[in-house]
Chains A and B, each alone.
Chain A
Amino acid sequence: MKVLLMGHPNVGKSVFFNRLTGANVTESNYPGTTVDYTKGWMKIKGEDSELVDVPGTFSLDPKDKAEEVAVTMLRESEDAKVISVIDASKIERGLYLALEIIEEGYPVVIALNMWDVAGDKNIQIDIDNLQRILSVPVVPTTAISGEGIKELVSRLKDAKPVEIDTIIENAGGLT
């Protein structure tokens, strides 16, 4: 199985990658730390799975070379699952990329990362409802301290392609 870590710049993809593979890619607190992809291996239920740390991108419509690397990586990995990493304190814009990836038919698991920051900012997210509407697994995480990472990996098996119509219906239709 191949799993891609995708999301906006500076949401913690590399932190997940290092935690999951025991690798050592550079993590920093600024957008654009990762400009090339790194591959590594992790075990999921005894099965070797390939994990790719993809450079951050805002959408699937690349604006710079690092984003280009990200989009090409996604397009070349047709059978991959995607861990869509979202900054829980800026959830709306993170959902944009997540929806784009879901629309392309990839099975997605959403990691609502920086859960602690969202808490500090008094942002409450109804995980169950979000999960129901999106019909994909949604896991709150704080990658830097490791919270939620185990659950995230265990939920990968529940990731299935979702029709965007289903999501629209669950959300109560478009205006």
Chain B
Amino acid sequence: MTLGVEERWDLIDKISKATITFGKYRHTLKDAIGELTVKPMTGIPVAIAILYGFWSVFGSFAGFFTDGFFVRLFDAYWLPWLQEIFPGQGGWLYAIMVDAGGIESGEFVLSSNCLESFGVLTSGLFVAIGIVLPAIVIFYLMLALLEDIGYMPRLAVLIDTMLHKIGLHGYAIVPTILSLGCNVPGVTATRILETKKQRFIMMTLLAIFIPCGAQIGIMQDVVPDLMGWILLYLIIGYFIFGYILNKIVPGKAPEFLIDVPPYRRPMLSNIGKKVWGRIAGFFKVAIPFVLLGCAIVGGLYQLGVIQWLGNVLAPVFVGWFGVPAETAGPLIAAFLRKDLAVAQLSVIDMTPYQMVTAVVLVSIYFPCVATFAMMLKEGWKELLGALATLVVVVFVYGGLIHLIGILLGVA
């Protein structure tokens, strides 16, 4: 026999009266801090401070290890050593695995650093280990701290009103922040949203506007001065297109109720396990894709496919997005490897505004293969919808950024 809802609560009432006594509750310091971080007047400044702190620790930690250690290791020792010992200099295998080099005054010259060589064993490994690894380690370490202390639900409460404008609610901050590490768990985390509409909007926005840790790491490394603008354009895009999607996608966007858990002291062992597990998971997915993507891009360059596509599409890139014709190649290669494409872009001569446009374009492009597969798992209709949105967004938003540049007189 089962009870009705009323009867069940009635029974619970009886049981609790017979078994529970509530003593006097003392308001503790923990509660006070808890309230201060969730009330808008004090909570919003605290949230800004925490996010800013997050960002600056991220930047300095990643920069310290990448520039201070890995760049030297890879450029001064690994690259010259491989260039020396790998057989068949100038051949296609050499170009794909080690160094595609360049032609200077009619002569083949080797690259001087791992961002320009575009070999699987040079650029591929350097990006994966030298740039992405430090970025991911520090990101997940800080994320784990915020998670275990119990800050995430408070952030969700604070940002709730804003996210309602785009058909989501405060809790959407969880998949969004998870996606800053890797979009794959971000897509899975959309399950905590109640309706199909919300999940679709969230997934689409994640895949388009949220760069993952690997991308952020490489942007931070090659175009650190422009990061502010790039992120600003991505955040604005997230809200503009979220707003539009909310208007056109049918379905409901309900209110949310959330339990704000008490702050807890994070346990070192749990942080360690979690960070380690996530890094291991990321690398199981990312390393093969980085290396394979690198090999495919290298192969397509060798076959002249990317140059050909670049020439065909250059007028679109130049006319519509306002970026130089040379960016066509990397922008096409970005379909396979966004991180390498950013590195390629960084060595092309263009104005800062063109660089911002090009990097934003790369970010909002096609999601990485792993994310694509995860979205397919959540539903093929949603995936198709997300892809259609993506194509529209790339053209509309890319054009809009160009237009803003023209109006500001910087494009």
Contact = CB atoms under 8 A, between A and B. Distances in A.
Interface of A: 8-10, 18, 24, 26-33, 35-36, 55, 63-66, 69, 91-92, 95-96, 99-100, 103-104, 117, 120-126, 129-130, 133-134, 144, 163-165, 167-168, 171-172, 174-175
10 contacts: A26-B278, A30-B153, A32-B171, A123-B20, A124-B23, A125-B19, A133-B19, A163-B1, A172-B14, A175-B10
Given A65-B191, A122-B24, A130-B15, A29 B277 contact: no
SS of B interface (majority): helix
B373 interface: no
Contacts of A92: 12-13, 16
Interface in B245-260: 258-259
Contact of B8 (A26, A96, A126, A172): A96
Given A28-B148, A171-B14, A35 B191 contact: yes
A19 B16 CA distance: 29
Given A125-B19, A174-B10, A29 B150 contact: yes
Interface of B: 1-3, 7-16, 18-26, 28, 144, 147-150, 152-153, 171, 174, 188-189, 191-194, 199, 258-259, 261-264, 266-267, 270, 273-274, 277-278
Given A29-B150, A171-B11, A175-B10, A65 B199 contact: yes
A24 B277 contact: yes
Contacts of B153: 30-31
B259 A9 contact: yes
A65 to B, nearest CB: 4
Contacts of B18: 126, 129, 133, 171-172
B20 A95 contact: no
B122 to A, nearest CB: 34
Contacts of B263: 29
B142 to A, nearest CB: 13
B257 to A, nearest CB: 9
Nearest to B8: A99
Which of A55, A63, A99 counts the most chain B CB atoms within 10 A? A99
A68 to B, nearest CB: 8
Contact of B19 (A32, A130, A172, A174): A130
B228 to A, nearest CB: 29
Given A64-B192, A66-B191, A124-B23, 13 more contacts: A28-B152, A29-B147, A30-B152, A31-B259, A35-B189, A64-B191, A92-B13, A96-B8, A104-B2, A125-B19, A163-B1, A171-B11, A174-B10
A33 B138 CA distance: 20
B17 to A, nearest CB: 9
A31 B258 CA distance: 8
B279 to A, nearest CB: 12
B174 A30 contact: yes
A18 to B, nearest CB: 8
